Structure 1
C-alpha cells in the first residue's frame, strides 16, 4: 500500500532568536511558534496568532493527507477497539450510608452518567448527572469532580470545556435535580466537603495556571464572597485539598515533587484556621490518615532516611513532628505506595521486586496478612470507597492477558467476592496470549524490568515488530495491566512491551532518584537497553521497534530518537515534553517552578544547564537518519504547550538525512489528555496504531504499507 503525501511538507520559516545563560548562547529558529499571548489562548483558542494558526493547520492538513491511504485501516482499528468495550458498562456501586453510588454508560454515549440507588437495592436508580447532556454543543468536555455532600443532599461537580484544565464548579440540588446559582470558576480538580454539607474547600488556579490558593465556598453564596483559607507563597509548590477516610478532618497539602506539608481543619468546624502538622523539610514527604478510634494519625513518610517509606503515628491532639513514632519500620526494597485507615483496619499498598501487593493490618493487635497474585506481571489497586466503618476492602486486579477484575474482600474473613469482570464483547481468551516479565541489563549493570504480551505461538525469531512503551519520570510506575486497545497490534503479530525504566518507582524509590536531575540520562539508556534486549532475545529485531511515550514519556521519545535512531522503525510522541531546556529556563510557564526538583534548575546552576542541554531533545536534533516520527499535541495544553512538538517537528524535518516521514497533529480543540469522549479517544489511538502498522509493514490484509517521505 503506497501512501501519497502532498508534494511538499510544511516548512516553518526561521526567525532566529538568541538566548544566553551562564555565558552560553543558544539560537532558536522556531521560537516564534510560541504565541506571546499564550495565556489568553488557553482560555480562548480563537485568540491564537493567525500566522501560527496557519502553520499548525498546514501541518494538520499534511498529516491527514499523508495518512489518508490508511483511512480504511483506521476505521477497522476503531471498530475493533470499540467492539472490545461494553458500551453500556457500569461500575460496581460503592455504598455510602443509605445509598450506593456508581457510574454507567449508555450505548453509543461518549460520557458517563453519575448515579445512585438505595444501598441494598438492585433497582431504583437516580441519575444525578448526565455528562452527555452537559457536553452538548461542546468541542471539548471533561468532568473533573463529582462529589456528593455528606448528607446526600447536594452534588458538587466541575467541568473543563476547553482542554486547558480550568474547571468550573457547580452545585446540584439532588432533591430537584437542578443546579443552584453557585458557580466557582478557575479551579483545579479536588474539593472537600465539610461535615454538614454546607461548604467545601477548593483550589483556585491563577493566571499562570498554578494552584496556589485554597478557598472555602459556602453553598448559596457568590464565589466572590469565598474565604481565602490558605495561600502558598512559593511558586514551586502547588496545593490540593482532600479529607481523611474518617471524614473528621479536611486536609490541605502543599507539595513539589519531593517535599510536602499538610494542614488540617476539623470537618465539623470548617471556619477554624488550618493547623500545620509538620513544616516542610526538603526531601521529606508525608501523607496522613486518621485512626479515629485511637485518637491518632497514621503517617506514611520517608522521614529519617526511610527511602522506601514507613508508617508512623502521632497523637491527634498534637501531631507535630516531635511526636511521630514508628509503627511500621522502613524496609529497604519494599516501597509503600499508599495507605488507608478504616475503623478496625489499616491497609497499605506495597511493591516489592516490581510486583504490587496489599497488606491488611488489624489495628486492635497489629496482626497482618497479604493479598497477592501469582502471575509474572500484573497490576493491583485498592479503593478506599466512601465509608470508614467497614469490614470490606474493594480492590482491582488485571494483567496484560487478564481483563480487570473487581473484588470485595473481607478484611476479617479473607473471603474474595468477585463483583465485576471486565467484559470484552467481541471476545477475549487469555489462553491465546502469553505475558512475560524479563530483564534487560543496563550499561551500568542495573536490571531493567520489561513486561510484555504476544500471541501464543508467535515465532520469536526476530521477525515480529514490537511496540515498546515507556515513561520514566516523576516516580510514576507504568502498570502491567490489561489493555483492550493494544490487542489490535498484538493480534497482528506485534509484541507489545513496557519498559519499566529508571525515573519510575517500579523497583523502589531509588529507581526514581536514579532517573532524575543529574542522573536523567539513565532513563533514556535504560529504554535503549530494553529495546536492544528484546531484539537479542528474538522478540523483535533492531530497526523493527516502534517506540511510544507521552508527556515526559514524549521527552523520552525525543531523546532516544537522537541517541539511537537506528534501533527504532518509528516513534510515536504524544504531547511530548521535548523543548526541555527552554521550558525549564522559563519561570513564567505554569509548571516550571515545581519542575526544578525533578530536572534541576538551569537558571541558577551551570551544571544543571549543561547536563540538561546534553539531552534536551529539541536542542540535540542534528543531521542524521531518523526513524519515522509522529508527534501529537493539544492547542490548550497547559502542561506541555503546543509549541514544543511544533518546534521539534520543524527542526526534525530540516535535519533528517534519510527518506522518512515526520508528522505533526495538533488537536485544536483539546489539551493534554487529547479528545475527551471515550470514542473520540479511540479514534486517536487508532490513528497512531495505524501509523505503527504502516511503518512496520503490518496490515490486517497482509498489505505492505509504505509511509510518505518528507520532501526536502
Structure 2
C-alpha cells in the first residue's frame, strides 16, 4: 500500500517576526502559532485562539485523510497489541507492616485500581481511577500514597494533560474523600511519621516546581505553611523520604547539581537541615543507615565521574565529613542505591549492562546478582519496608517478558513472584536479540540493541525502525515491548541506538552528548543507521527513525543532516524549536535546560552552536523523508507550537512529494493519551504509518 499526500494540504500563513541576539537577526514566519495566552490554554484548552485552532484542526483533518487507507491496519495492530496484554492483571503486593499494597486492572478498564490486602487476607479497594476518570476526556493519576498509619490515602490527578495535579485525601475507613484539596501540585509527597501531615511541591504559573509546603490533615490548603522556596529558577524541587522512614527529603536540583535538606519525619515542624551546600556539577543522593548512625550518599564529588558511595555521620552530614565506602571505579556507573537495615543495594552499569550489587552492612561483604542474556533490562523495587532481608527486582529483555523476583539478600535465594503473561502467545525462540556496535566518525563505538524475527532475511531487504533519545543522561533500556512485536512480525528489524547523551557507557557518554558536544548525539544516530545498512540488517532509505521529546529533536536534526538515510521520521512531542525555546526564559523548562543545551541569551558561542543544529532553524529546500510529527495541546514540556511550526516550515520548503503530517492531540499533553488502551491506539497509529510508508501494510 503506497501512501500519497491528499490533494489539498494546509498552508500556514506567513507572519514574519524577528529577534536579534549577539548582532544576529533571525526571522520566524510561523511564530504566530504560539498563542499569546498559552498559560491559560494549558488550564483551559477551549481558549486557544480561533485562527490557531482552525489551522491545527485543518492539519489534523489532513493527517486523518492521508492515513485513512491504513484504518484497517490500525485496527489490526491495536487488536494485536491489546491481545498481548493481560487485561485483568495486578502487580505483586508490596508488604508494609500488616498490609500489602498493589495495583490491579479490570478487564476492559483503561485506568488502574489501587488496593491493599488486609491483615485478615481480604482485599480492599482504595482508589478506583476508572470511576474518577468517568466523563473526563483526559485523566492521569499522579500520587496514590498511603499514610504510615494506613488510615489515609493522598492521591492526585491531572485532568487536562497540562501536569497541574490536584491533590485529595481519602479516609480509608469510609472510602470518602475529606474536604482537603490542594491544587497545582506536581506528583510526589512525603508523609510525616504520624500520618498527620505531608510535604508537597507547588507548581507556579510558569509551571515551575519551586516551593515546598506542609499540609496538615483537616486544614484548608490556604493555611499550608511554606517549608522551602527555591530562588534559582534554574533549579526544581522535589520531596521524598529515606527508606528508613526517619527523614523527609527536600531535593533541589538541575541536570548536574543537587542540594538536599532533611526533616525528621517524627518532628515535621523542624526547619529543614542542609546536608551539603550545592556545588556546580556535584550531585548527591542520600540514604539512612539507622543502625550505624550514618548516611550513605551516592555522589560524583571529588571527580568521581561514574559516582561512588560515601558515608557521613547523621550529626554532621556535610561534605567535609564524607568518606568513601564504595570508591569510584571508572567505567562502572553507579545508577541508584537503597539502604535497608542490614543491607545496602546498588544498581550499576558496566559495559552497557546493568547489575545489582548487595552489600552486607555488618562486614562490608558484597555479592552480585547474575544474569545471562546478551542484553536485558533491570529495575529495582525497594518497596515500603526497611527492616527486611528481601529486596525486589524485575528482569526482562527484548525477547523475554518481564519477571518479578523477591531476592533474599542473606541466603541469595531468588523467588519468582510474577511472570508477564502474553495472552495471545509469545515464544522467545521465534525472535533474536543482539547487541552490536557502530563506529562513529571520531572512533567511538555506539551500542545498538536489535530485535528481529528468526525468519527475517538479513540481506538488506528488511525495513528497520531505529529508535533513539540521547539526552539528560537517560539510558534507553533493551526491554520487552508488546508493541514492537507487531513490527517485527511483519519483517521489520527493531533497533535502539544507545547514543551519546545517555549514560549507557558511563557518565562521560552523557557529557559527550550535551552543550557544545550535542552534535555527537546526531552523528551517533546516523552512524547507527549507516552501520545497520552496511551489515545488511536493512538498507539506506529503508529506515524509519523514531524518537520523542528530546528524541524528537534528534529526529528533526537527523532529517536535516542525512535525509536520504531515512524513509520516514516519526517525531513525538518533538523539541524541534530549540533555539527559540532556549531564548525565552518565560517558558516553563527553559532556565533549568540551559545546563543541558547552553544559554544562548548570555553566550554567543552557545547561540551559534545551537543555531547550527536546531531542527526548525535548519529546515531548508531539499528532499526529506516522510515526516509524522505528533504533539499535545496542553503539553507544558514541549509546547504544541513546536511541532506545528516545524510541520508548516517543512511542507513549505521540502522539494519532494513525500508526506508531511502533523497530529496535535487536543485533549492531552506530553504523555499522549492517558488510558492504557488509548495509548495503544496512538502506538498503532505510529506503527501503521511506519508500515504504510515501507509498503508492509
Judge same fold: TM > 0.5, yes or no.
yes
- C-alpha distance in 2 between matches for 1:175 and 1:78: 40
Q: How does 1:198-277 map to 2 (within 5 A)?
A: 198-277=196-275
Give the secondary structure class of the aligned counterpart of 2:586.
coil
Q: How does 1:88-487 map to 2 (within 5 A)?
A: 88-118=88-118, 123-487=121-485
Q: Which residue of 2 aligns with 1:49?
A: 49
1:101-159 Cα offsets, whole Å, 9 max, x none, are: 0000000000000000135x6x5110000000000110000000000000000000000
- C-alpha distance in 2 between matches for 1:75 and 1:459: 27
Q: Please say if residues 356 and 372 of structure 1, whose CA atoms lie closer than 8 Å, have aligned partners that are also in contact.
A: no
1:386-443 Cα offsets, whole Å, 9 max, x none, are: 0000110100000000000000001001011000000000000000000000000000
- C-alpha distance in 2 between matches for 1:471 and 1:440: 16
Shift of 1:191: 0.1
1:423-464 Cα offsets, whole Å, 9 max, x none, are: 000000000000000000000000000001000121100000
Q: Are positions 1:8 and 2:27 aligned together?
A: no
Unaligned segments of structure 2, at least 5 residues: none
Shift of 1:173: 0.2
Unaligned segments of structure 1, at least 5 residues: 700-712
- C-alpha distance in 1 between matches for 2:68 and 2:677: 20
- How many corresponding residue pairs? 697
- C-alpha distance in 2 between matches for 1:158 and 1:554: 29
- C-alpha distance in 2 between matches for 1:506 and 1:245: 27
Shift of 1:374: 1.6
- C-alpha distance in 1 between matches for 2:648 and 2:67: 19
Shift of 1:320: 1.1
Q: Please say if residues 401 and 430 of structure 1, whose CA atoms lie closer than 8 Å, have aligned partners that are also in contact.
A: yes
Give the secondary structure class of the aligned counterpart of 1:620.
coil
Q: Which residue of 2 aligns with 1:709?
A: none
Q: Which residue of 2 aligns with 1:663?
A: 661
Shift of 1:321: 1.2
- C-alpha distance in 1 between matches for 2:52 and 2:657: 27
Give the secondary structure class of the aligned counterpart of 1:15.
coil
TM-score (norm 1): 0.97
- C-alpha distance in 2 between matches for 1:27 and 1:476: 33
Give the secondary structure class of the aligned counterpart of 2:317.
coil
- Among 674, 677, 685, which residue is 1:676 paired with? 674
Shift of 1:6: 3.6
Shift of 1:519: 0.1
Distance 1:5 1:533, change over 3 A: closer
- C-alpha distance in 1 between matches for 2:383 and 2:437: 36
Shift of 1:664: 0.2
Give the secondary structure class of the aligned counterpart of 1:619.
coil
Q: Are positions 1:80 and 2:67 aligned together?
A: no
Q: How does 1:685-696 map to 2 (within 5 A)?
A: 685-696=683-694
1:452-500 Cα offsets, whole Å, 9 max, x none, are: 1000121100000000000000000000000000000000000000000
Q: Which residue of 2 aligns with 1:36?
A: 36
- C-alpha distance in 2 between matches for 1:321 and 1:573: 43
Distance 1:335 1:3, change over 3 A: closer
Q: Please say if residues 458 and 493 of structure 1, whose CA atoms lie closer than 8 Å, have aligned partners that are also in contact.
A: yes
Give the secondary structure class of the aligned counterpart of 2:320.
helix
- C-alpha distance in 1 between matches for 2:126 and 2:632: 31
Q: Which residue of 2 aligns with 1:707?
A: none
- C-alpha distance in 2 between matches for 1:152 and 1:145: 15
Q: Are positions 1:558 and 2:537 aligned together?
A: no
- C-alpha distance in 1 between matches for 2:652 and 2:45: 28
- C-alpha distance in 1 between matches for 2:491 and 2:198: 52
Shift of 1:531: 0.3
1:167-193 Cα offsets, whole Å, 9 max, x none, are: 010000000000000000000000000
- C-alpha distance in 2 between matches for 1:665 and 1:125: 42
- C-alpha distance in 2 between matches for 1:2 and 1:293: 67
- C-alpha distance in 2 between matches for 1:666 and 1:195: 44
- C-alpha distance in 1 between matches for 2:69 and 2:443: 45
TM-score (norm 2): 1.00
Shift of 1:3: 4.6
Shift of 1:381: 1.1
Q: Structure 1 residue runs of 4+, over 4 Å off?
A: 2-5
1:521-562 Cα offsets, whole Å, 9 max, x none, are: 000000000000000111000000000000000000000000
Q: Please say if residues 333 and 352 of structure 1, whose CA atoms lie closer than 8 Å, have aligned partners that are also in contact.
A: yes
Q: Which residue of 2 aligns with 1:578?
A: 576
